Amino acid sequence: MADIPKIEIRNVGRIFRKRGVNEDFHALSDFSLTVREGEFVTIVGPSGCGKSTLLDVLVGLSEANEGEVLIDGRPVHGPALDRGIILQGYALFPWRSVRKNIEFGLEIKRVPKKERAERASRFIKLVGLEGFENHYPFELSGGMQQRVAIARSLAFDPEVLFMDEPFAAVDAQTREAMQDELLSIWEKTGKTILFVTHSIEEAVGLADRVAVMSKSPGRVKEIVEVGLPRPRRVSQVRDTTDFNVITHRVWELLQDKPPESLKVRQPGMDIGEAILPDAII
Ligand SMILES: Nc1ncnc2c1ncn2[C@@H]1O[C@H](COP(=O)(O)OP(=O)(O)O)[C@@H](O)[C@H]1O
Ligand SMILES: [Mg+2]
């Protein structure tokens, strides 16, 4: 199905009625984005620009008021297990062990017990939690809990994975380790990932393309091609010139300033300004 985009978001609008006020609030307006099969796309935008609202629509937790969302060419209406979602909080069941948390989706899908156990073991290994199978969430660090959440989503083999600031609550060092782990899992599984963040570094470090959102009402302001080499580790690209050029470009877009990039793309500019390659525009 190479010709059909994996995810197609067409002119999506989401309108909330303000409580007690006879006035509509557009959280999203004319949001369009197309994601190819196996692609890793990040969406970056300021707090309150509508990122979580968009993900709710994409996973079918709420319905768009305008436009439509297609996955594999089929319109999204309501939640389904072919779309995994990983949220900012880990949303683990505190009374279930690591293994039982990971098996949860498989139980709902009525996967037989033996296969459940095998699949859970595979994903426990993939996210590096061997030896912690029988631990409970309260016995794990934030990073480990997030890995359980990732394993749980991957275990029921979703076609696409939607992630809403999944590493926002972990410390900086763990966050980078988790980013690299996610990249490694993505390389091994070939899943299509749409990942929302307000961190520019995270958005650029992970993605094939970064969709930069405008302030509320959220829409795609510009899509930045990242083009950093694959396989990639955020820890290895973080200090490179290319990485800094691209993050600067995204930063500029988020500033809502007149595009300095138009200036820096002129030939013969000063060093530091002239280095912005056309490839990322
Ligand atoms: N159910 C809702 N009812 C009314 N307003 C909402 C609702 N959900 C979100 N909003 C508003 O929509 C805007 C976007 O919210 P959100 O999608 O959570 O932003 P982000 O995830 O980018 O920080 C915010 O102004 C928020 O207050
Ligand atoms: Mg949010």
Q: Could you tell me if 213 and 51 are in contact, meaning their C-beta atoms sit under 8 angstroms apart?
A: yes
Q: Is the CB of 49 under 6 A from ligand 1?
A: yes
Q: Could you tell me if 37 and 193 are in contact, meaning their C-beta atoms sit under 8 angstroms apart?
A: no
Superfamily of domain covering 7-82+158-221: P-loop containing nucleotide triphosphate hydrolases (3.40.50.300)
The structural domains of the chain, with segments of one domain joined by +, span: 7-82+158-221
CA atoms within 13 A on the CB side of 42: 25
CA nearest to 205, candidates 171, 169, 181:
181
Cα angle 253, 259, 263 (rounded to 5 degrees) comes to 135
Q: Is the CB of 16 under 6 A from ligand 1?
A: yes
Contacts of 277 (CB under 8 A, 6+ apart): 245
The band of 207, judged by pLDDT with boundaries at 50, 70 and 90, is: very high
Helix, strand counts (H, E) of the chain: 9, 10
**CA dist., res. 145 & res. 79, Å (int):** 24
CA of 272 to the centre of ligand 1 (A): 37
Q: Is the CB of 48 under 6 A from ligand 1?
A: yes
pLDDT tens-place string over residues 105-115: 889 889 999 99
Q: What is the mean pLDDT of residues 218-235?
A: 95
Instruction: At 141, list the tokens.
Output: 């660090």
Residue from 19, 51, 53, 162 whose mutation best tests the ligand 1 pocket (most atoms within 8 A of CB): 53
Closest residue by Cα to atom 18, ligand 1, is 52
pLDDT tens-place string over residues 68-112: 999 999 999 887 766 777 666 667 899 999 999 999 888 988 999
pTM of the model: 0.85
Return the higher-pLDDT residue of 185 and 277.
185
pLDDT for the residue 178: 83
CA nearest to 143, candidates 174, 102, 165:
174
**CA dist., res. 106 & res. 117, Å (int):** 9
Q: Which helix (H) or strand (E) holds 210?
A: strand 209-213
The band of 281, judged by pLDDT with boundaries at 50, 70 and 90, is: very low
Q: What is the mean pLDDT of residues 225-233?
A: 96
pLDDT for the residue 241: 96
Q: Could you tell me if 197 and 169 are in contact, meaning their C-beta atoms sit under 8 angstroms apart?
A: no
Closest residue by Cα to atom 2, ligand 1, is 16
pLDDT tens-place string over residues 146-168: 889 888 888 877 878 899 988 88
Instruction: At 11, list the tokens.
Output: 């002119």
Closest residue by Cα to atom 27, ligand 1, is 48
pLDDT for the residue 278: 34
Q: Could you tell me if 138 and 165 are in contact, meaning their C-beta atoms sit under 8 angstroms apart?
A: no
**CA dist., res. 25 & res. 37, Å (int):** 33
Atom of ligand 1 at shortest range from CA of 50: 17
How many residues are listed for the chain in this entry? 281
Backbone angles phi, psi at 81, to 5 degrees: -75, -5
Closest residue by Cα to atom 26, ligand 1, is 48
Q: Is the CB of 15 under 6 A from ligand 1?
A: no
CA of 52 to the centre of ligand 1 (A): 7
pLDDT tens-place string over residues 17-40: 877 777 889 999 999 999 999 999
pLDDT for the residue 96: 95
Q: Is the CB of 51 under 6 A from ligand 1?
A: yes
Atom of ligand 1 at shortest range from CA of 47: 23
**CA dist., res. 126 & res. 188, Å (int):** 9
**CA dist., res. 51 & res. 64, Å (int):** 13
What value does the mean pLDDT of the chain take?
86
